[in-house]
Amino acid sequence: MSVERDRAMNDKMHSDDSSIEEIASKLRGKTLKVYWYLLKNPRNAGLRDIQRGANLSSPSLASYHLDKLKELGLVSANEHGTFNLESDVKVGILRFFIGSGRLLVPRYLFYAMFYSALIPCFLIFIPLTLGPVSILLLFVLCFGAVTAWLETIRAWRIEI
């Protein structure tokens, strides 16, 4: 009994992995732009709204990419002709963002804020001596803050 249950769970895990791989392979280019638009605007969106928001040349092109997203199970259409996001997947470039809707931000933002908050705390609460440990710690904090802010800015500027 437990062997059958383990086999069924193992098959389910492999099917989930293969579906994620399929989504990752098909969620590229303009299809990704349409999905990105729906992530940033989770309300019901019409075909023309999606076409304009994703900078597509025609509604038929938007419809083609929406059909691809429907096949993947990421989008559904209702009887009024509007489209809804069904699931949120983190594949490809989307792995670098967290949140949903208008609050979709790069994950590096939290590291940048953390390191940036630690620097003044270090300078205020820990007496800065000219010891090598204090200087090294301050250097590491500054390096972490600068690196995290650069990665945050780079992620925000990515053209999808």
Task: Kindly report, residue by residue over 139-152, the tens digit of the pLDDT.
Answer: 999 999 999 999 99
Say yes or no: 13 and 61 in one domain.
yes
Residue 47 sits in a domain whose CATH number is 1.10.10.10
Q: How far apart are CA 1 and CA 7, in angstroms?
A: 10
30 lies in the same domain as 57: yes
Q: What is the mean pLDDT of residues 107-126?
A: 90
What pLDDT, on a 0 to 100 scale, did the predictor assign at position 15?
47
State the pLDDT at residue 7: 47
Q: What is the pTM of this model?
A: 0.70
Query: What gap in Å lies between CA 60 and CA 27, rounded to an integer?
Result: 18
pLDDT by residue (tens digit) across 67-97?
A: 999 988 888 888 888 888 888 888 888 888 8
Cite the DSSP H helix spans in the chain. Answer: 2-26, 29-40, 47-53, 59-71, 108-125, 132-156
User: 29-66: string of b/e by CB count within 10 Å (b at 16+)?
Assistant: ebbbbbbbbbbeeeeebebebbbebbebeeeeebbebb
101 located within any domain:
no
Q: Please indicate, yes or no, whether residues 16 and 87 belong to a single structural domain of this protein.
A: yes
User: What are 7-48's pLDDT values in tens digits?
Assistant: 444 444 334 555 778 888 888 889 889 988 888 887 788 889
Q: 106 φ, ψ to 5°?
A: -65, 140
Give CA angle at 76 (58, 54), nearest 5°. 30
User: 34 near 50, Cβ under 8 Å?
Assistant: yes
Domain that holds residue 67: 2-94
Task: Mark which of 94, 122, 148 sits at the end of a domain.
Answer: 94
Same domain, 49 and 125: no
